[in-house]
Each structure stands twice: as structure tokens, then as C-alpha cells.
Amino acid sequence: MAVMIGRARTLVHSLQGMPSGADNAHLQTFADTRTISSWALDAVEEMVASGIMNGLEPARFAPAELATRAQAATILKRFMQSVLFIEG
């Protein structure tokens, strides 16, 4: 989910002329960072840095777990707020 939202955010930011990117510094707070697939690391970092995703617990991102309907709705709401599609 982080990759899909990250790509959507990058597209919207490019259309709006806004920069986007990540530096993986925020991932160090999660004990399970090593279980995040390498192809998803940048997207997960961008989602955590932007506040769209923040993990299940302060020290656990849980990349292999399925998102609940409530979590998906929260992520979509935060995404739409971050790209200024809705006010929050």
C-alpha cells in the first residue's frame, strides 16, 4: 500500500510542481525495518516522513500484515490531505 500511495503522491506532486523524496532516516525507529522489502523502502520512508503512515506501534511498522478497512481509509484520508485534495 505504501508504494501505491507513494507513487500517487509523487504523481500529484509532479503535476503541482512540488518536490517529493525520502532519506530513510525515519525508518530507523522501527524494529522491523529489515522486513520491509528493498523495493518498498523509499515509499515507506516517504509515507512515514509525511505522516501518512506511522506503523502499528511506535517501534513496529508490520510490513507483512494486511491493512484493515479503517487503516486503509485513514491512509487515503491522510494522502488526500497531504496533496491538498481535501482540508483536514
Task: Give the chain's domain count.
Answer: 1
Residues 32-81 pLDDT 10s: 999 999 999 999 999 999 999 999 988 999 999 999 999 999 999 999 99
Q: Name the residue with cell 530513510.
A: 24
Q: Has residue 88 got a pLDDT over 90?
A: no
88 lies in some domain: no
pLDDT for residue 86: 96
28 lies in some domain: yes
**Distance between CA 87 and CA 25 in Å, rounded?**
28
**Distance between CA 72 and CA 18 in Å, rounded?**
25
68 lies in some domain: yes
19 lies in some domain: yes
Domain that holds residue 66: 2-82
Residues 10-34 pLDDT 10s: 999 999 888 766 566 788 889 999 9
87 lies in some domain: no
**Distance between CA 5 and CA 47 in Å, rounded?**
8
